[in-house]
Amino acid sequence: MTAYIQFLIDVLSLGGAYALMALGLVIVYGILRLVNFAYGELIMVTGYTMFLLGGSALPWIVMAAIGVLMAILAGIATDYVAFRPVRAKSVTAVLITSFAFSTLLQNAALLFISPRPRNVPLPDIFSETVHFAGIVTPARNLITIATAVILLAVFAWVMKRTVLGIAMRAAATHFTMARMLGVPANLIISTAFAISGFLAGIVSLFWIGRIGSVVPGIGLEPLLVAFIATVIGGMRSLQGAVLGGFLLAFIDTGLNYSLPQELLKFRDAFTFSLVILILLWRPAGLMKGPASGQRT
């Protein structure tokens, strides 16, 4: 019994982080039909902001808030630098500019900070463990679960109940029609990038919290995870992204538990094999997005 609960906590905490990452990627993809390959660098930005603030006397929560804020700003900057100038022209151009922006941010970190890992301040609670009902788990995992639940609920509420949320869902279906109802294109796109940055920033706190340090390439794995989760879940569906995140975490954790020690280093090969099987079964992902798919 305790093993199951332990497993469940591991799946939910990893899945919560994956789901938030995937959501941040799909919110932009849904509207622009373009993958933001500079997404992982938003996670890096929060990490280095935390590192730079590390020496100050600020309480951790303030540093975290500034870190998330910087990720939001970096998200909006991605739109202005990589997307907006070439958005109307060609998909290929945006693909390349988003890669370029990603490389630019990484190289800036290499050049101005260091290629070596830099320590990031962590709150004391992140290193504590919780004992209950025979289970030992890092408090960080429980905080991750709670944060994911709260953020997913808030996100669902915003998309369902606010005019801006409804407008964002409409823009993901048929952008021109939404504009013909008076929904400003730039407002919607900037908002999507800001939400994307916010989610990346929050995830970054937990992602880096596990490692304790930040390197320039830190964003690669989260980008990959988010991308795979959205592909499994269905690129155009917000619920799909969340489902894909939890499913991927379930696969990863399940393999961690079940694979013998000598095979564990090949875990990703097993994960991707399962992902391929899922895609053979449902090539468009588990959840269908909104009906039409016009690009802007």
Partner 1 sequence: MLDVAALELRYGAIRAVRDVSLTVGEGELVALLGANGAGKSSTLRAIAGAHKPASGTIRLNGENVTNQSPERMVRNGVAMVPETRDVFPDLTVAENLRLGAFTRRSDEAGVDEDTQRMFRLFPILSERAEQAGGTLSGGEQQMLVIARALMSRPRLLLLDEPSLGLAPTIVGRIFDMIAELKSGGLTMLLVEQNAAKALAVADRAYVMRSGEIAAEGTAADIAAASDLKALYLGG
Could you list the residues that contact partner 1 (CB under 8 A)?
163, 166-167, 169-170, 173-174, 176-185, 290-292
Nearest to 27 by CA among 254, 239, 286: 239
Residue-by-residue DSSP string for 219-273? GHHHHHHHHHHHHHH-TT-HHHHHHHHHHHHHHHHHHHHHS-GGGGGGHHHHHHH
CB 183 → partner 1: shortest distance, Å?
5
State the minimum distance, in angstroms, from the CB of residue 286 to partner 1: 17
CB of 191 vs partner 1, minimal distance in Å = 13
Nearer to partner 1, 115 or 184 (CB): 184
Q: How far is the CB of 98 from partner 1 (least distance, A)?
A: 24
Which CB sits closer to partner 1, 114 or 176? 176
Q: Which pair of tokens denotes residue 167? A: 């407008």
Count of CB atoms within 10 A of residue 55's CB? 8
Burial of 213 (0-12, 13-18, 19+ CB in 10 A): middle
Closer Cβ to partner 1, 93 or 185, answer by number: 185
Least distance from partner 1 to the Cβ atom of residue 249, Å:
27
> What's the rounded Cα separation, in Å, for the pair 250 and 270?
13
> Do 126 and 120 meet the contact criterion of CB atoms below 8 Å apart?
no
CB of 167 to partner 1, least distance (A): 6
Q: Which is nearer to partner 1, 249 or 287 (CB)?
A: 287
- Nearest CB to partner 1, comparing residues 19 and 170: 170
Alpha-carbon torsion angle 1, 146, 139, 232, nearest 10: 70
Q: Which is nearer to partner 1, 174 or 210 (CB)?
A: 174
Q: Which residue from 270, 274, 244 is spatially nearest to 258, judged by alpha carbons? A: 270
